[in-house]
Structure 1
Amino acid sequence: MSDLTHTLRLKKPLAIFDLETTGVNIVRDRIVEISVVKALTNGKTEIKTRRINPEMPIPLESSLIHGIYDEDVKDAPTFKSIAKNLASFLEGCDMGGFNSNRFDIPLLVEEFLRVGVDFDMKNRKAIDAQRIFHMMEPRNLGAAYQFYCGKKLENAHSAEADTIATFEVLQGQINKYEGVKVVDADGNESEPIQNDMGVLHALTASNQIDFAGRMVFNQKGEEVFNFGKHKDKLVVEVLQKEPSFYDWMMKAEFPLDTKRRLTEIKLRALTQR
């Protein structure tokens, strides 16, 4: 038991949980930590937190987010070894979390299925606090304009009104956050927001090579495909080993920008031979 109590009206226990993982791929990635607040029907709660050995290396980019490194979980139990006890703890519970419908629940179910433990969501309710948040506190331009500028956006979806509002929002963000220090999971302190367009570009730019995101830069800064049978493969290597793939993309219904970027990579590779 814990000192944490609640006022939720429950017909059966509600397990609010969160996962820290090796990444965000439901199929490939694994849990490195799970924490559950089990809200009971009598107003009390039980809290359990457990680190788990994912039986695979934790990518550095994930460790920098949640602060859990390979060394931290090398002696922790595997998911298989705790699966039955965890399933028992969650028996008869509805499930909830933040973005849990899209990520945490699917990944947890996948982990159970991998080790042969039946964990069925059919008779459980799933409550996602993020969806409630986004529904009640819209994350759109109008909401940003009200938050950063203290004004109501008139004529929303008029190009000029939206453009002026966005201009004012950007200035409001810089005024609000410039000089504000943030600390990452590794304890490093920085001031990410600066009145410098180069800094803001680096902060907000995506890893996409083309606007459609068919090609992206991987963690090593290499150009890779981001779809289909060649997903995550180096663009240059695919073009070398399967020249017909280039011809197919040029004839298929891909955006002209995608075709242009693909051609640039192909020509560059030819000149470097």
Structure 2
Amino acid sequence: MNQQTSQQAPPWYLGRLAGFDLETTGIDVESDRIVTACVVQCGGKYPTQSTTWLANPGVEIPEGAARVHGITTEQARAEGQPAGEVVQQVAAALVETVLSGIPVVAMNAAFDLTMLDREARRHRIYPPAERIGTELRVVDPFVLDKHVDPYRPGRRTLTDLCRHYQVPLDAAHSADADALAACRVAWRIASTHGEIGTASIDDLHALQVGWAREQAESLAEYFRNTPGKEQRADGVRGDWPLIPQPRTESR
């Protein structure tokens, strides 16, 4: 009889996590551009390692976006790397992280991962999601929070979640601060909600696909039934963690 006993793997949130965040020229994943990016590895009893990038997006940064993340067109042109170089480096860092078995933590992941995908295609870089394939595992604090506490009133921005879960956020809307804060919020949710914390990372990823779809359907229904907001229902997407590229009609 084999006397060797297998040790149960520790919960995913006690291992290494990779926070990922982008700050951009706007919120349209099909046309806006990356301005700053961060991939930060933390947890797992190892030192935190953070890499950040500042890009010259090649287009004007609207004043509204600059007020959010603090990067003006002039600063991006003077200090930023060419956009294609940044996209290539961010994509490579994310691919390396995922293929090493580390889950990606991203607040509203469908935005950041889709934005990176479209930027990669724009600059003729092999899209990271296609390089990663089925190895991608994502933890999205936005999806998790809406699942565990669906009826809490108020907004659910990262700043709001940090306040609710008592996570420090000293420089909101800087990519490095947001990436690290997203990891901490995910840790808080997982450590206090057994359904989240005890799930394997494979199962949790699959569950979030369904939860994100259900949440989107609920939001679209709300818009359809709210006078003055009906047209917003058509823009709600339930794809997660990546919005598929729009099909181009052949002639």
TM-score for both structures, normalised by structure 1: 0.46
Larger RCO: 1 or 2 (CA < 8 Å, sep 6+): 2
TM-score (norm 2): 0.49
| Greater C-alpha radius of gyration | 1
